[in-house]
A and B are shown apart, each in its own frame.
Chain A
Amino acid sequence: MQNVINVVLSHRVPNEVQRLAAYWESLLGGGNVLIAYGGPGESFNKIEFNPKIFIDDTRLRTLDHQREAQSYTAVFQEVSRWLRSQSRQGDYVTLFEFDHAPLARDLNARQVERMRAEHADVVAYHLARVDGTSHPHYLYYAANPEFARFFGNVSVRIDRQVVLSMFGTGSCWKREVVDAVAKFNEPFPVYFEIYLPTLAHHLGFRLRDYGEQNRFISNLGDRSAELESVRKRGAWTLHPVKNLTTILSSTSGR
């Protein structure tokens, strides 16, 4: 069994974070959940769960995530630093937002198997190539010459124009990719759903998609009511699930 660290990102009140962490541990087993807290510093200290790390970065705490170019760079840097400080090493790191509900007890085994089957270094939901397309995030950054210059400078690829996009939550990374990405700072604010996959690609890593699992992951709305039905349809996870009570009261791991 590979060693997987599940990073659960939350900014909610301490009590809710504790319950969510307990749910994660009850489903996937203890000792492989790391809470990355992006809420107020005083609330972080009140969270009675370990391990936990505080992400002290205003670029994580955005409201209009796309236009304010929300960043997960500090999350990667803190997770990488935390992993280095541990005697127990993680082979893989998954990244989940608070409203992304795990549904399968063997979620990590499925993710690792997917990575092996695809010979991937990273798997992510809704991974797509967007350069030269009408994708709004691509078009926005295409207007800034610094964007292409940055990736052109770091790239080991022959084609340095490739731009990838992925869904923000649920990605699974080999540890070495997390460490490699964490060494870089954004040259200017770049939305992380473009920045992270594009940087990993240009550093030479292979990114692949979750395939048919994509249908259980969407960006808007609240799919809390679908928990049981998607579980029966083979979902590993579900997003977004805004009603935490629904997650915590659902029968886990069936």
Chain B
Amino acid sequence: MRKFLRSIGLFSARLIGTRLTDFQTGCDLGKTLIIPWRGKVHVIGLKTAVRVVFLPQKRLTYWKQEIGFTTHPPPDFPNETSKMSADHGEKERD
């Protein structure tokens, strides 16, 4: 029953929610309901894992700032196992 009610709630949130766009790539991030509540912002129904950032602004405005959403690029880290050997070597020498 709880799952059913949650499904209805999520469906409604996505129906009336706002569509988010990745501010870096322009990709669609899905629809979500955003509710400020008790000093926090609640994001309901969003399926994509997003990062939140204050956006750079070309005009110097003291009265308004914008919060945007983006995602990490695909993981593309180099192999650094040589450091593992070096680290262990140092620890052994210590």
Interface residues on B, range: 20 to 34
**Chain A contacts of B43 at CB under 8 A?**
134
Residue A11 at the chain B interface, CB threshold 8 Å: no
- Of all chain A residues, the one with the shortest Cβ separation from B76 is A208
Point out the residue from B72, B81, B84 that lies within 8 Å of A128, measured CB to CB.
Answer: B72
A206 touches B77 (CB 8 A): yes
A135 touches B87 (CB 8 A): no
Q: How far is the CA of A132 from the CA of B79 in the complex (A)?
A: 23
B84 touches A133 (CB 8 A): no
Of the candidate stretches B5-13, B46-54, B57-65, the one touching chain A is B46-54
B72 touches A129 (CB 8 A): yes
**Chain B contacts of A128 at CB under 8 A?**
49, 72, 74-75
**Chain A contacts of B83 at CB under 8 A?**
156-157, 204
B79 touches A206 (CB 8 A): yes
| Interface of chain A, main secondary structure | loop
B84 touches A156 (CB 8 A): yes
**Chain B contacts of A119 at CB under 8 A?**
79
A127 touches B74 (CB 8 A): yes
Residue B71 at the chain A interface, CB threshold 8 Å: yes
Binary flags per residue of A40-67, CB closer than 8 Å to B gives 1, else 0: 0000000000000000000000000000
**Chain A contacts of B46 at CB under 8 A?**
134
**Chain B contacts of A131 at CB under 8 A?**
72
- Of all chain B residues, the one with the shortest Cβ separation from A119 is B79
Point out the residue from A121, A133, A209 that lies within 8 Å of B79, measured CB to CB.
Answer: A121
Q: How far is the CA of A198 from the CA of B78 in the complex (A)?
A: 14
**Chain B contacts of A204 at CB under 8 A?**
79-84
- Of all chain B residues, the one with the shortest Cβ separation from A154 is B84
Nearest Cβ on chain A to B27's Cβ, whole angstroms: 14
A109-146 at interface with B (beta carbon < 8 Å): 119, 121, 127-135, 138
Residue A162 at the chain B interface, CB threshold 8 Å: yes
Residue A205 at the chain B interface, CB threshold 8 Å: yes
- Of all chain B residues, the one with the shortest Cβ separation from A130 is B49
A156 touches B81 (CB 8 A): yes
Q: How far is the CA of A127 from the CA of B72 in the complex (A)?
A: 11
A208 touches B75 (CB 8 A): yes
Q: How far is the CA of A128 from the CA of B77 in the complex (A)?
A: 12
Closest 10 CB pairs of A and B: A135-B49, A204-B81, A129-B72, A156-B83, A204-B80, A133-B49, A206-B79, A156-B84, A204-B84, A129-B75
* Residue contacts A-B, CB under 8 angstroms, 25 given: A127-B75, A128-B74, A128-B75, A130-B49, A130-B72, A132-B51, A133-B50, A133-B51, A133-B71, A133-B72, A134-B48, A134-B51, A134-B52, A138-B49, A156-B80, A156-B84, A157-B83, A201-B75, A203-B84, A204-B79, A204-B81, A204-B82, A204-B84, A206-B79, A209-B75
B residues contacting A by CB (< 8 A) are 43, 46, 48-52, 71-84, 87
